[in-house]
Amino acid sequence: MRARYFIPAFAAVAVVLLTGCVDNSTPAATTTPDAASTIEADPAAVALLPADIKSAGVLVVGTDAAYPPNEFKDPSGAPIGWGIELADGIAAKLGLTTKYQIASFDTIIPSITGGTVDIGESSFTDNLEREKQVDFVNYYNAGILWAAPVGNTVDPDNACGLTVAVQDNTVEETDELPAKNAACVAAGKEPIDVLPYGSQDEATNAVVLGKADALSADSPVTLYAISKADGELEPAGESFDTAPYGITVDKGSELTAAVQAALQSMVDDGSYGKILDAWGVADGGIDTITINVASKG
């Protein structure tokens, strides 16, 4: 289903966006999350935990923390966002605490397959290529949404010759824009100039400062960027290409079923919905937590 998103009233969080001062090199932080403080362990989910993680009592979570409002940093450098709150809730359901390893997006999956991180929570879009390396516990449906300076007409379906900013290693950089660019070249039109940045705030800044004509990001991320841009940006068209987000887990791990059970328990008891509602992103919520939707769709 193609979801349509509206600008939400997000929880008040002090975030420096347009100055480009967000520090994405903050070391790992261990948290005792307030969001999960009222979530009780689910015995059925706990029973599915691998013995080593259960005995350790800690769920190590890899996140980029540079993609607000999904995952980003508070002024102290600790990870926050609705995705982070879901990860905290998963840990609570499993009777664990969370330990976050903040890293660049493209290193998270290798950290999972290498055994230094238990799960990845970083707005990963479930696709066939990534499923070759990890399993996905699907928890949300997000579309792609473009933004452009107010008053500028930008059509994502007619973007030949434009400069488009993205966060690097996102599906917008790896899938969406390469496909659009190939169509431009095949039609003999000017190519799209894709500008990848290490964080979403940098990609947003590029548009605000006139270095790019538009940005492309997941719909909740684009709407958050617009809300923080002091009236300088607006949506360019509507969201499209809705696809599932997934928690990434090592391929074939017993932890996959435990994470699925924990998230489903959060859906069933309402804690999942409360987190999405608080951040204004409920439109992409789902009722049934699934595994590896991309290969089953």
Bridge partners of residue 98, in order along the sequence: 31, 59
Average pLDDT, the chain: 88
Structural domain contains residue 42: yes
**Higher-confidence residue: 30 or 175?**
175
The CATH number that applies at residue 109 is: 3.40.190.10
Residue 17 pLDDT > 60: no
CA distance 90 to 232: 37
216, 241, 266 - which closes a domain = 241
**Higher-confidence residue: 287 or 25?**
287
Tokens matching residue 291? 């595994």
Radius of gyration of the chain (CA): 19
220, 241, 262 - which closes a domain = 241
Domain count for the chain: 2
In 3D space, the residue among 203, 220, 189, 71 whose CA is nearest the CA of residue 148 turns out to be 203
Reported as a pLDDT band with limits 50, 70 and 90, residue 297 is: low
Reported as a pLDDT band with limits 50, 70 and 90, residue 36 is: low
Clarify whether residues 163 and 41 are in a common domain: no
User: Helices then strands (H, E): number in the chain?
Assistant: 12, 12
Clarify whether residues 124 and 265 are in a common domain: yes
Residues 81 and 69 sit within 8 Å (Cβ to Cβ): yes
In 3D space, the residue among 208, 219, 266, 223 whose CA is nearest the CA of residue 10 turns out to be 223
Residues 222 and 166 sit within 8 Å (Cβ to Cβ): no
Structural domain contains residue 10: no
Residue 12 pLDDT > 70: no
Reported as a pLDDT band with limits 50, 70 and 90, residue 25 is: very low
CA distance 168 to 174: 8
pLDDT of residue 280: 83
